[in-house]
Amino acid sequence: MVAITVWLSAIDFAVHRLPNIVVLPFCFSVIVSLATAGLITADFRRTLVSLGVGLLMSIVFLMGNLIGVIGMGDVKYSLPLFSVATWFGFMSFQTMLMVMTISATVVMIGVSVKNRSSRVRIAYGPYMSLGLIAALLTTAP
């Protein structure tokens, strides 16, 4: 999980794109993994909640895409990341959300000040990845 998020972050930093050829199989593997985990733990509710929150956050990100502040790659990337964070509980979800939002905001402010422009675009995927990694390190057993 960490390896793929770091790899995708490097790609996103370099080209400001999250390639479907990586993101879509990653998304599928997370769905299968969470379904398998639900089967093993006999906790299908946890699987459904995790996937439901991931889908809900994808819809939120889609709204951001429709107004032009989030890329479509980030929309697709949000499903597996938020699903995994939610699997480990509400505190994990909150940690991911706070770390990704605060880190991206700090970078946007820094870049805006440096460029003397309020119209700044950053690659958001790496901050989503950072949020998930922080959530896993602080809340996963």
Q: In the chain, what's the furthest Cα-to-Cα distance?
A: 54
Band of the pLDDT at 100, cuts 50, 70, 90?
A: very high
Q: How many other C-beta atoms can be found within 10 angstroms of the C-beta atom of residue 12?
A: 24
How far is it, in rounded angstroms, from Cα 83 to Cα 30?
A: 8
Of the candidates 4, 38, 6, which has an alpha carbon nearest to the alpha carbon of residue 23? 4
Statement: residue 121 has pLDDT above 80: no
Helix (H, G, I), strand (E, B) or coil at 44: helix
In the numeric block, which tokens belong to residue 53? 């929150």
Which residues, including other chains, have CB under 8 Å from residue 2's CB and lie 6 or more apart? 133, 136
Which residues, including other chains, have CB under 8 Å from residue 48's CB and lie 6 or more apart? 38
Single-letter amino acid, residue 119: R
What's the angle, vertex CA 137, arms to CA 136 and CA 141, rounded to 5? 75
Q: For the CA atoms of the chain, what is the radius of gyration?
A: 15
In the chain, the number of structural domains is 1
Can you give the residue range of the structural domain that contains 12?
2-139
Q: Which residue has the higher pLDDT, 49 or 124?
A: 49
Reported as a single tens digit per residue, the pLDDT across 57-75 is 999 999 999 998 888 999 9
